[in-house]
Amino acid sequence: MTRYLLRRVPSLALVLVAASLLIFAVLRLIPGDPATTLAGPDASPATVAAIRHELGLDQSVPAQYVHWIWSVVTFHLGHSYLIGGSISSLVSSGVANTALLAATALAAAVVIAAVVGPLWASTSNRWLDSLLTGANTLAVALPTFVTGVLLILVFGVLWPVLPTGGTPPAGLLADPGITAQYLFMPALCLALPIAAVLSRYLAESLRTELRQPYVTTALAAGVARRRIVVRHALRNALPTTVTVLGLQVGTLLGGAVLVEYIFSWPGLGQLIQQAITRRDYPVVQVLLLLSVVVFVLIQLLTDVLHAWLDPRIRLEGGTK
Amino acid sequence: MAVLEIDQLTIDFETFGARQRVVEGLSLTLHKGEVLALVGESGSGKSVSARAVVGLLPETAEVGGRVRLDGTELLGLPEDQLRRVRGSRIAMVFQEPSTALNPVETVGWQIAEAVRAHTKVSRAQARTRVVELLSMVGIPDPDVRRRHFPHQLSGGQKQRVVIAMALANDPDVLIADEPTTALDVTVQAEILALLRSLSERTGAAVLLITHNMGVVADLADRVAVMRAGSLVEQGPVEEVFAAPTSRYTRDLLASVPRLDADSRQPEESADAGEAPVFVTRDLAVEYPGRSGAAAFRALRQVSLAIAPGEVLGVVGESGSGKSTLGRVALGLLRPVEGSAELFGVPLAGVRRRELRGLRRRVGVVYQDPAASLDPLRTVGESIAEPLVLHAGGTGAERAAQVRDLLDSVALPQSFADRLPRHLSGGQRQRVALARSLALHPELLIADEPTSALDVSVQAVIIELLRELQERRGFACLFISHDLAVVNEVADRVAVLREGRLVEAGPVGRVLRTPSDDYTRRLLDSIPVPDPVVQRNRRAASIEPRSA
Amino acid sequence: MTDLSLQNPELAASLEPTVHPAGDSPQHRAVQARGFQQTSRPRRSALLRGRGLVGLVLVGLVVLIGVLAPLLASYAPQAQIADANLLGASWQHPFGTDEVDRDVLSRVVYGIRTDALIVFLVVPLGAVIGGVVGLVASQFTAADVVAQRVFDVLLAFPALILAIGLTAVTGPGLLPIGCVVVAVELPLFGRLVRSATLKARELPFVEVSELMGAPRWWVLWRHILPNITEPIVVQLALSMSGAVFIESAMNFIGIGVRPPAPSLGSVLSGSIANLRYNPMYAVGPLLVIAALVLGFQLVAQALSADRRG
C-alpha cells in the first residue's frame, strides 16, 4: 500500500504545482495593469503604487509567484479592493457556508445512493427498474440550475412553503429547524446529480459483482441472496465506488457556484461569481487555487481509502 | 441407494424473445457414495443441468421435469427452502479457483460464511470449524492460512479452500463442475486425489462434470455422456470406456489425444546439419518489474534448436516460460543473457527493419480463436492481410490466393465473405492458420492453438496441422501445456519448468523414458483416459507417495 | 504469470461474465472480450427504437426550432416591446415578457442557436483534438508522459471553475465558451482514446498484424480505430449533453455570450428574480435545456446498451 501511495503522491503534487503555475500565469495575461483596475478610475498614483506593492507587482515574476504561494500558505491573503474586506475573512466565512452546504448534500447523496443502488441492482421487478432508470436519467441529465429553478418555481412560487434563498436571518446555528428549511432546496439541488451518478455507478458495479463466480460460490454455499448483495457484492464494489464519489466531490465546488448563485447562499461559489463579475482577480486567483487544492486532497483521500479497502493493494509490498 | 434423482429434466433459455431448449429429457440417478461423471463438450448442457439442480440458473431459464433429493422434490421449491438445501445438502465446487473466491475477504471468513449460512455458531466455534476444514483439505498451517486473502494463495490452494467451503456442512451430494480444468496437471493430480479421499471419507456422492476423459477415468465409478442437451449413454466407467455403445462416445474417446499413442517418427533427417531456423544458447529473458520491483526472469540458460521442417513441442505448466520462448522467437522479447538466433540472425541487437524481414518468414497462431481475428474484417480480408502487406499483386490474384488458402485449411471458399463471429471456434482457428501460412513461412509458432477448443475439434485441427506441416515442410514451435497433444504433433519435445529447460529430445524417448524427475512427475500426473490403466497406475504410485 | 496462455490481465478484467444460453463451457465464455466482438447489429437501429429514438426526437425537435427561429418567433430577440414589462403568458407572448420588455419565447428560440453551435461544432472539434492527442500519447512514451500530466491538470478543475478562470482573462463571449468546452472535452477524449488504443493493441489480432510487419499507421487505421469507435461515439453523445450544461451554466452566471444576445442560460438566470410576476418566464429555457441534455443522455444510453449487446 505504501508503494502504491508513494506512486500517487508525486503525480498529485505535480498537478498541484502545475495548476498553481497555470492559475498564476493566466491571470498575468489579463490586459492592463491589475493594480489600476483594482484601485478604480479615480485613484491617485500613490494609491496605485501602494496596491502594486501590496500585491507584490513591483517584484520579479518568480518572486511574485513565491510571494503569492507564501501568502496562500500563511493565509495572509491581503485586502479585497472591489468586494471589500480582507480576503482571508471572505474566504473563511465562505468556506464555512459552502462546507455546510456541501457536507449536507454529500451526506444526502450517499444515503440516497446506498438505498437506491442495491435496490436497483437486485430488483427483478420491471416497473421498479424502469422507474429507477427514468428518475436516474432525469437526475443525471438535468443541470443543477434547471432543478434549482424548478424547485423555486414549485416550492417558492406555486406552493410557497420554503424560503427561496439566503440564509436564516438569525444565523445558521440559531435554530436547526429554520436552518434546515433554508438548506433543503440548495442541498437537494447539489445532491441530486451526485446521488444519481453514484447510485447508477453503484447499481452497475453491483450488477457486475453479482455476475462474478464468487457470488455463485456463495449462493451454492447457501448464503442468502440479500446478504450476498449487501455484504459480499457491496464490499467488492466499495473501493471503486469510493473513487467515483471522490471524483464527484471534486466537482462540488463547480456545482456550488450555480447553487449558491440561484439560492443566494453566501459561500465560496457566490464569492467567486462576484469576484469574476467585478474583476477582483486576487480573489479569483485564490479561489481557483483553493478549488485545485480541494480536488487534489480529495483525490489523495480516495486513493488512500481505495487502497485500504482493497486487500490486493493494501497488502502489496506492505506486510510481505 | 439413490440420493439424487434427476427425471426428464428440460431446460429452456429465453434470449431475445426466442426460446432455446438446451437440455432435453435428462434422467440420471446418483447413488450414495458413488462418483458419477457427467461428460460432454461445450454446449452439451452438462453444467446448466448441474446448476438447475440447485436452482442457480438465471431467471431467463425455464426448468421442467423432476429433481428429487432423498425423495424431496427440489424444482419449484421456494428460494428460502432451496437456500437451505444449497451448501448443506448439496454443495458445489467450481472450475476457476481464482475467481470462485471473494477477493476482498479472507478465506477463513468465506468458509465461516458457508458454516453460518446454515448453523448458528459463535465466533470461536466458527474459527475452530474453519481450521478443521482447512486441515481436512490439506492446507498447512490452517490457523495462519485462514487469515490470508485469496490472492495470497496458489491456484491449487484456492481450489482446496473452495472444496473446504463445499464440505463445511457435510453435504450428501457434491457437485464438482470442471474442478481441475483451470489447474496445472500436477496440481490437478493432487486435487483429484483429495476429492477421491474426501468422497471415501465423508461418503458424499459426487456428481463430477468434466470434459476431460482422463479425469473421468481417474475418479468416476459411473459415467453419463451428454451431447447437445441429451443423454447419449451412461453406464459403469469401465464398460463405457471399453465398449461404448453410442457412436458419439466412441468418436469422443477416439478424439482424446493419448500419451500412449504412437508418436511421430522423427524423419530421417537427410538434410542433417542444415542450419537451424531458430536456436538459443544459454538464453535468459526478463520481464521488467513494475514500480521498482525486481525484474522477473522468465527464462534462464535455455539452449535449444529447431531444424528446418521439424516440429518442436515446448511443454510446461503455467509460469514455465513456454510462451515467453515463442515471444523471443518473434523478436518481441530480447535476450538479456545468452543468444537467440532466428534464421541465423542474432535477435539481441537486431534492427527493426531486419526484424520485419525475419518475421515475414514466420507465421503465428495463438490460443484464443475469438480474439485472433479482427471482428470487423471478413475472413477473406484477414487472410489477405499478409498478402497485401508483403506480396503485392492485384486484388484478383489475392482473392485467388485466399481461395487456395481456404481450400488448404478445408474451409469452403464462400467463407471469405463471412465475419469471424459467424464462425465456430474451430473454424476461426482454421482461418488463423490459413492467414499464418499465407506467406509460406519457414517457421510456424503455435501457442496453445487447440487449448480453447473441444476435444473433437482439437483432434481435427491437430490432424490438419500435421498434414499441412508434412505437405509444406515448415518448421514449427508448438507450445502447449498438454503433453498428449504434443505427443501427436511434435518430432522433438522440450520440457520447461520455471524458466529452465528440464529435458529435451525426441518425443518418443522423452515421453516414454524420461530422464528427469520433473518430466516423470508431469507424465505421472496426467490421468490416462482408460479407467483400468489409470487404476493400476494409481495403485502403483500411491505406495511410494504416501510413504 | 509469464504465460500468454493465462490471458493478459487487462483483457481478463474486461470479460463479459454473462451466462451464455448454451453456456456450458466457461473457458469459451472467458475468451470473449467485451467491446471487441459485439458489433453485430448496425448502429442505426439503436437510435431508431426505444430510448435512442426518444432522445433523437428530443434533440431533433429542439434543433428544428432553433433553425426555424425566424419563422417561430414573432419578435426580434432583442426587441423591446412597449408596455410589455413582465407580462404573464398570453397568446401574444406564450412565455410572457421579461424585465426589460422583451418577448421570452423569441429569446428562447433564438437562444437555441448558440447551443447548437457549441454542441455540433465545438464538441466534435474538442473530440478530434482530444482523440488525436490520445492517439499520439498511445504511440509515443514521451508524448504520453506530457499528455497524461496535461490531462491530470485539466481534470483538476471542475468545468465551471475552468470557465471562470478562463473568462477572467478573456472576458465573456462565445469564444471563451468554445475554449472551455474544448478544454473540458480534451482530457475526456484523450484518456478514452489512449486507454482504448492501448487495450486494443494487446489483442491477439492486433499483435498478429504487427508481427506480420504491418506499419504502425496500418495497424491503427485498419484494426484499432474501427474497433474503438463505439465507446467514442457514446462519449460524444455524453459530451454533447455536457456541453449544453456548460454553455447554459456559463450564460446562467453571466460569463457567457454578451448581453443583449439571447441565450437559454441568461433567460433562465433572469427569470429567478421575476418568477413571482411571470412564472412562465422560466418554463421555456427549462424545457429546452431539459430536452437537449436528456435527449443526448438517452442517445448515449441507447448506444452503450447496444454496444454491450
> Could you say which of C24, C39, C205 has the minimum Cβ distance to residue B47?
C24
Task: Please say if the pLDDT value at position B520 is more than 70.
Answer: yes
Please give the average per-residue pLDDT across C281-296, as a whole number.
92
C-alpha cell at C85: 414589462
Tell me if A253 and C158 make a contact (CB, 8 A cut-off): yes
Cα A176 from Cα A172, distance rounded (Å) = 8
CA distances from A95 to A68, A100, A102, B238, C160 (A): 20, 8, 10, 80, 18
Residues of C with Cβ-Cβ distance to A255 under 8 angstroms? 158, 160
Task: State the pLDDT at residue B542.
Answer: 56
Chain A nearest CA to C275, separation (Å): 7
Residues of C with Cβ-Cβ distance to A137 under 8 angstroms? 294, 297-298, 301
Q: What is the DSSP letter of C261?
A: S
> Could you say which of C1, C24, C31 has the minimum Cβ distance to residue B45?
C24
CA distances from B112 to B82, B126, B144, B195 (A): 20, 6, 15, 21
- Minimal-distance CA residue of chain A relative to B94: A217
Task: Please say if the pLDDT value at position C278 is more than 60.
Answer: yes
For C205-222, b/e burial (b = at least 16 CB within 10 A) is bbbbbbbbbbeeebbbeb
Tell me if B320 and C3 make a contact (CB, 8 A cut-off): yes
CB atoms within 10 A of CB C98: 24
CA B179 to chain centre: 11
C-alpha cell at B493: 519435445
Cα C95 from Cα C77, distance rounded (Å) = 13
Sign of the C-alpha dihedral computed for residues B356, B358, B363 and B364 taken in this order: negative
Question: Do B449 and B418 contact (CB within 8 A), yes or no?
Answer: no
Tell me if A235 and B105 make a contact (CB, 8 A cut-off): yes
Task: State the pLDDT at residue C20.
Answer: 30
Confidence of residue B148 (pLDDT cuts 50, 70, 90): very high
- Minimal-distance CA residue of chain C relative to B47: C24
> Could you say which of C18, C286, C294 has the minimum Cβ distance to residue A149?
C286
User: What pLDDT digit, counting tens, does each position of A218-270 carry?
Assistant: 999 999 999 999 999 999 999 999 999 998 887 787 888 899 999 999 999 88
Chain C nearest CA to B425, separation (Å): 9
User: What is the side-by-side order of every strand in the sheet holding B278-287?
Assistant: B296-306, B278-287, B337-342, B345-346
Tell me if B371 and C24 make a contact (CB, 8 A cut-off): no
User: What pLDDT digit, counting tens, does each position of A272-304 carry?
Assistant: 988 888 888 888 889 999 999 998 999 899 989
User: What pLDDT digit, counting tens, does each position of C214-235 carry?
Assistant: 888 999 999 999 999 989 999 9
Pairing state between β B230-236 and B475-480: unpaired
Confidence of residue B292 (pLDDT cuts 50, 70, 90): low
- Minimal-distance CA residue of chain C relative to B447: C5
In order, the DSSP letters of B427-441 are HHHHHHHHHHHTT--
Task: State the pLDDT at residue B273.
Answer: 67
Residue among A280, A50, A258 nearest C268 (CA): A258
3-state secondary structure (DSSP) of residue C172:
coil
Q: Which of B368, B389, B445, B458 to mutate to test the interface with C (most CBs of C within 10 A)?
A: B368
Query: A161 and chain B: CB distance < 8 Å anywhere?
Result: no
Q: What is the DSSP letter of C166?
A: H
Task: Please say if the pLDDT value at position B270 is more than 60.
Answer: no
Please give the average per-residue pLDDT across C29-34, as a whole number.
32
Residues of B with Cβ-Cβ distance to A216 under 8 angstroms? 56, 92, 94, 100
Q: Which of B80, B113, B130, B147 to mutate to test the interface with A (most CBs of A within 10 A)?
A: B113
Pick A56 or A130 by higher pLDDT.
Answer: A130
Tell me if A153 and C275 make a contact (CB, 8 A cut-off): yes
Question: Do B180 and B497 contact (CB within 8 A), yes or no?
Answer: no
Tell me if B92 and A218 make a contact (CB, 8 A cut-off): no
Cα C143 from Cα C133, distance rounded (Å) = 9
Lowest mean pLDDT among A33-47, A53-67, A135-149, B225-239: A33-47
Residue among B152, B91, B101 nearest A214 (CA): B101
Cα B191 from Cα B180, distance rounded (Å) = 7
Please give the average per-residue pLDDT across C257-263, as a whole number.
87
Backbone Cα Rg of chain A: 24
Question: Do B173 and B30 contact (CB within 8 A), yes or no?
Answer: yes
Cα C230 from Cα C200, distance rounded (Å) = 13
Tell me if B481 and C28 make a contact (CB, 8 A cut-off): no
C-alpha cell at B45: 448442457
Between the CA atoms of B119, B120, B126 and B130, what dihedral angle is there, to the nearest 10 degrees?
10
In order, the DSSP letters of A161-175 are -S--SS--TT-TTT-
User: What pLDDT digit, counting tens, does each position of C32-74 carry?
Assistant: 333 333 344 444 578 888 889 999 999 999 999 999 988 888 8
User: What pLDDT digit, counting tens, does each position of B159-180 carry?
Assistant: 999 999 999 999 999 999 999 9
Residues of B with Cβ-Cβ distance to C212 under 8 angstroms? 359-360, 385-386, 389-390, 439
Task: Please say if the pLDDT value at position B319 is more than 80.
Answer: yes
Q: Which of C5, C11, C16 to mutate to test the interface with B (most CBs of B within 10 A)?
A: C5
Task: Please say if the pLDDT value at position A1 is more than 80.
Answer: no
> Could you say which of A30, A142, A296 has the minimum Cβ distance to residue C293?
A142
Looking at every residue in chain A, the average pLDDT score rounds to 87
Question: Do A145 and A258 contact (CB within 8 A), yes or no?
Answer: yes
Q: How many CB pairs under 8 A join A and B?
A: 90
Residues of C with Cβ-Cβ distance to B385 under 8 angstroms? 209, 212, 214, 222
Task: State the pLDDT at residue A174.
Answer: 79
Residue among B57, B60, B49, B55 nearest B25 (CA): B49
Cα A35 from Cα A152, distance rounded (Å) = 40
pTM confidence score:
0.86
User: What pLDDT digit, counting tens, does each position of B416-427 carry?
Assistant: 999 998 998 999
CA distances from C148 to A168, A217, C151 (A): 45, 40, 5
User: What pLDDT digit, counting tens, does each position of B435-480 carry?
Assistant: 999 999 999 999 999 988 898 899 999 999 999 999 999 999 999 9
3-state secondary structure (DSSP) of residue B223:
strand
> Could you say which of C3, C23, C207 has the minimum Cβ distance to residue B48?
C23
C-alpha cell at A112: 440516497
3-state secondary structure (DSSP) of residue A56:
coil
At which residue does the C-alpha cell 457437485 appear?
Answer: B175
C-alpha cell at A172: 445558521
Task: State the pLDDT at residue C44.
Answer: 55
Cα A108 from Cα A189, distance rounded (Å) = 11
Tell me if C165 and A15 make a contact (CB, 8 A cut-off): no
Backbone angles phi, psi at C70, to 5 degrees: -60, -30
Residue among B116, B36, B32 nearest B69 (CA): B32
- Minimal-distance CA residue of chain B relative to A310: B104
Fill in the amino acid letter for A129: D
A103 Cβ contact list (under 8 Å, min separation 6): none
Tell me if A217 and B92 make a contact (CB, 8 A cut-off): yes
Cα C162 from Cα A273, distance rounded (Å) = 12
CB atoms within 10 A of CB B487: 25
Residues of C with Cβ-Cβ distance to B356 under 8 angstroms? 213
Chain C nearest CA to B480, separation (Å): 9
Subunits in contact with chain C (3 or more CB pairs closer than 8 Å):
A, B
Task: State the pLDDT at residue A82.
Answer: 76
Residue among B8, B140, B146, B139 nearest B68 (CA): B8
Pairing state between β B443-447 and B475-480: parallel
- Minimal-distance CA residue of chain A relative to B53: A220
Pairing state between β B492-497 and B337-342: unpaired
C53 burial via Cβ count (<10 Å: 0-12, 13-18, 19+): middle
Cα C161 from Cα C164, distance rounded (Å) = 5
Task: Please say if the pLDDT value at position A14 is more than 80.
Answer: yes
Query: A312 and chain B: CB distance < 8 Å anywhere?
Result: yes
Question: Do B151 and B99 contact (CB within 8 A), yes or no?
Answer: no
Query: A213 and chain B: CB distance < 8 Å anywhere?
Result: yes
Cα B246 from Cα B236, distance rounded (Å) = 14
Backbone φ/ψ region at C35: left (φ over 0), alpha (ψ -120 to 50), beta: left
Lowest mean pLDDT among A85-99, A305-319, B443-457, B507-521: A305-319
Task: State the pLDDT at residue B446.
Answer: 95
Interhelix angle for A252-262 vs A87-122, to 10°?
Answer: 110
Tell me if B94 and A217 make a contact (CB, 8 A cut-off): yes
CA angle A28, A30, A34 (to 5 degrees): 75
Q: Which of C157, C286, C298 to mutate to test the interface with A (most CBs of A within 10 A)?
A: C157
Task: State the pLDDT at residue C309.
Answer: 58
Q: Which of A47-51, A67-71, C64-68 has the highest mean pLDDT?
A: C64-68
Task: State the pLDDT at residue B437.
Answer: 93
Question: Do C305 and C233 contact (CB within 8 A), yes or no?
Answer: no
B544 burial via Cβ count (<10 Å: 0-12, 13-18, 19+): exposed
Alpha helices, H only, chain C: 9-13, 26-29, 43-47, 50-67, 69-72, 104-117, 123-139, 141-155, 159-170, 174-201, 204-211, 216-218, 225-252, 264-272, 283-308
Tell me if B92 and A312 make a contact (CB, 8 A cut-off): no
At which residue does the C-alpha cell 506480420 appear?
Answer: C212
Chain A nearest CA to B149, separation (Å): 7
Pairing state between β B278-287 and B296-306: antiparallel
Backbone Cα Rg of chain C: 24
Residue among C256, B306, B177 nearest A217 (CA): B177
3-state secondary structure (DSSP) of residue B174:
strand
Tell me if B22 and C21 make a contact (CB, 8 A cut-off): yes
Query: A126 and chain B: CB distance < 8 Å anywhere?
Result: no
Task: Please say if the pLDDT value at position B18 is more than 90.
Answer: no
Instruction: Report the residue count for chain A.
Output: 320
Tell me if A292 and C156 make a contact (CB, 8 A cut-off): yes
Q: Which of B95, B98, B374 to mutate to test the interface with C (most CBs of C within 10 A)?
A: B374
Question: Do B317 and B481 contact (CB within 8 A), yes or no?
Answer: yes
CA distances from A103 to A108, A109, A186, A198 (A): 8, 10, 12, 16
What distance, in Å, lies between the first and last C-alpha atoms of chain C? 31
> Could you say which of A22, A150, A255 has the minimum Cβ distance to residue C286?
A150
Chain A nearest CA to C161, separation (Å): 6
C-alpha cell at B412: 469452403
Please give the average per-residue pLDDT across C12-38, as a whole number.
32
| Most distant CA pair in chain A, distance | 84
Cα B318 from Cα B332, distance rounded (Å) = 20
Chain C nearest CA to A306, separation (Å): 18
Task: Please say if the pLDDT value at position A316 is more than 90.
Answer: no
Tell me if A217 and B165 make a contact (CB, 8 A cut-off): yes
> Could you say which of A3, A222, A224 has the minimum Cβ distance to residue B88?
A222
> Could you say which of A212, A218, A309 has the minimum Cβ distance to residue B99?
A212
